[in-house]
Amino acid sequence: MRTKTTNILLVLNLLVLGGILIRQSVVLQSFAKQSSDQSGTKDDEELIRLYQEDQSDRKPPAGKSIDWSVVAPRDHARLARVKELYTQNKLQTGGDYYHAAMVLQHAEAPEDYLLAHELCVVAISKGNSEAKWLAAASEDRFLMNIDRPQRFGTQFRTEGANTPFKLYKMDSGVTDELRRALNVPSLAEAKAREAKMNRNK
């Protein structure tokens, strides 16, 4: 009887101790999150501006096309400045890494797309969920530009103004579940987008 009572007491003690440890863990996690949120580190204003300019240049007024003779020199200037900020270790927040990656995504060299992907990985690790899709798209763009199949289905190509858009060749190694985890449309949705892009040409 004494052994049974002792065992019951041991179980109760373990349950109480487990509850205390769980509560302590929750409190510590909450405190860590608050400390991170209240660290006072803000996204770099220059990187925000460069990102906003990059996006604005890709949204011409209704009925007009992008004037690449104007936008391309701006892209080159933004790219050069982002690389300067990167090499000077000015990227601090998840937003900084994401904003820099977006500018790099609109470069022309495969190594810039690869760096964009790597910056997205850091951005995600710092809690920036916007970088998920860009992590996939930058990987796809890198692969496309070294003549390898893309994996997520974010890249489309056309041979000219009067030729149809085509979803760039695919590697079958990525599932729709992985696409969903990175906020990427399913392969079926990518193919539907291909058809829509061609209807709108």
CA atoms within 13 A on the CB side of 148: 13
Mean of the per-residue pLDDT values of the chain? 85
Model confidence at 201, pLDDT cuts 50, 70, 90, reads low
Q: How far is CA 152 from CA 46, 52, 56, 81, 184, in A?
A: 31, 26, 26, 29, 7
Model's pTM, two decimal places? 0.78
Contact 117, 138 (CB under 8 A): yes
- Length of the chain measured in residues: 201
Q: How far is CA 138 from CA 30, 97, 172, 187, 193, in A?
A: 33, 13, 18, 17, 19
**pLDDT number for residue 68:** 94
Going from N- to C-terminal start, the domains of the chain cover 45-59+67-199
Q: Which residue has the higher pLDDT, 136 or 14?
A: 136
**pLDDT number for residue 11:** 37
Each residue's pLDDT tens digit, 84-104: 999 999 999 999 999 999 999
